[in-house]
A = this chain, B = another copy of it.
Amino acid sequence: MAPMIVLFTDFGLEGPYSGQVKTVLHLTAPGIPVFDLFSDLPPGKPQPAAYLLAAYGAWFPPGTVILAVVDPGVGSARGAVVVEVDGRWHVGPANGLFELVARRATRVRSWQIPPPSAAISSSFHGRDLFAPIAGDLARGESPVGRLCPEGMPRRPDWPDDFPEVAYIDRFGNAMTGLRAAVLPERARLATAGQVLTRRRTFSDVPPGEAFWYENSNGLAEIAVNCGRADAALGLNVGSPVAILP
């Protein structure tokens, strides 16, 4: 499979950040296609992003390089890693962002990226540290840095599924960090004082009615047909979601 590079960040598309990252990728790995998976992840929150990455990154073919940056600790001593999982490469900060990708994988290898030179920016490692590495990997180079025999730093305290709203999309739908496949078929979700039943898709419920469904990447998602679930139910990133069997 020909390689591709996928961006998974909280950088936004309209300001300078994603465009500069893409320029570096082009200069490092000319001709390799780059796709925006998420560019508006909840700013500075690696935990919800980690559950989204596990659900959405696995959709891409082996050989894909995922440049994942949600990095509130940029410029500090937090580590930086390359993680290879089932043929997909991940590059980014060692802050838990790859925890669920690794936990659900059959084979994980990780490399510790050496501390960057003082010459690079202290606030934009996405452009100055991670993008050149992602470009090199996409061109087929071996990872830089030290292979970690013990594996990358892990977050055993994080649950297997995340009972919170992890992302609200442009339609007002609220993605949770819960995999629909691990929920009982008749499970209801309780959030913001309401109890929601499972439906197959939007057109299965009357306009204005709230429900939850398995979204197109396997997450339990809260929605309102012909409406905005965030506004109708008062949901935000971080709203807790309880499972009622």
Of chain B, the residue at the smallest CB distance from A43 is B171
Contact at A23–B201, with CB atoms within 8 Å? no
Binds B, one of A14-22, A145-153, A232-240: A14-22
Q: Is A115 an interface residue (CB 8 A)?
A: no
| Majority secondary structure of chain A interface residues (helix, strand, loop or mixed) | loop
Query: Contacts A216-B121, A216-B124: A14 and B39 contacting too (C-beta < 8 A)?
Result: yes
Q: Is A162 an interface residue (CB 8 A)?
A: no
Q: How many copies of this chain?
A: 3
In the complex, which of the residues A23, A78, A200 has the most CB atoms of chain B within 10 Å of its own CB atom? Answer: A23
Query: Contacts A37-B19, A56-B16, A170-B15: A74 and B2 contacting too (C-beta < 8 A)?
Result: no
Taking CB atoms and an 8 Å cut-off, the chain A residues in 107-164 that contact chain B are: 121-124, 127-128
State the CA gap A53–B78 with chains docked (Å): 32
Q: Is A204 an interface residue (CB 8 A)?
A: yes
Q: Is A76 an interface residue (CB 8 A)?
A: yes
Taking CB atoms and an 8 Å cut-off, the chain A residues in 18-53 that contact chain B are: 18-20, 22-23, 26-27, 30, 33, 35-40, 43-44
Of chain B, the residue at the smallest CB distance from A73 is B203
Q: What are some 5 contacts across the A-B interface (CB < 8 A)?
A: A4-B23, A13-B39, A22-B35, A26-B35, A44-B171
A-B CB proximity, top 4 nearest:
A75-B201, A76-B203, A12-B170, A14-B40
